[in-house]
């Protein structure tokens, strides 16, 4: 069987998926954001357990709804059109570091 490595979603893919009014795409968008937030949270917890620093200055808060995190991400993608071709996870981390830093 010939297999290909999984391809990461680009910022363009996620920007398209996060456009409101498209139910299936919206579910993909929310799923991506929820998963990314869970990974950030897990990374922060692991760094604390290991006594190391998490490499991104991001503070995830229950004060924000998932929709608000989606909105933050979409705003970042709109403002950084020239970068949308790169890996969406990098763009998501950049958006969160800019919008919800710990400091």
Report the predicted TM-score, pTM, of the whole model to 2 decimal places: 0.86
Residue with tokens 């929310």: 30
Q: 26: pLDDT confidence band, cut at 50, 70 and 90? A: confident
CB 18 within 8 A of CB 74: yes
Domain assignment present for residue 3? The answer is: no
Question: Within a domain: residue 31?
Answer: yes
CB-based burial label for 86 (10 Å; 0-12, 13-18, 19+): middle
Helix (H, G, I), strand (E, B) or coil at 87: strand
The answer to the question of residue 18 being in a domain is yes
pLDDT in the model for residue 50: 96
Q: What is the number of domains present in the chain?
A: 1
Residue 88 domain-assigned? yes
* pLDDT at site 73: 96
Residue 52 lies in a domain: yes
pLDDT tens per residue, range 28-87: 888 999 999 999 999 999 999 999 999 999 999 889 999 999 999 999 999 999 999 999
* 62 burial level (CB within 10 Å; 0-12, 13-18, 19+): exposed
Q: What is the pLDDT of residue 47?
A: 94
**Domain span including residue 27:** 11-99
């Amino acid at each position: 069987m010939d297999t290909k490595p999984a391809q990461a979603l680009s910022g363009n893919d996620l920007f398209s998926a996060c456009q409101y009014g498209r139910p299936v795409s919206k579910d993909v968008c929310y799923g991506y954001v929820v998963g990314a937030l869970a990974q950030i949270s897990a990374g922060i917890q692991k760094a604390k357990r290991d006594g190391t620093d998490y490499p991104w200055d991001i503070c995830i808060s229950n004060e924000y709804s998932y929709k608000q995190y989606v909105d933050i991400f979409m705003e970042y993608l709109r403002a950084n059109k020239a970068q949308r071709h790169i890996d969406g996870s990098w763009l998501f981390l950049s958006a969160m570091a800019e919008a919800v830093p710990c400091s």
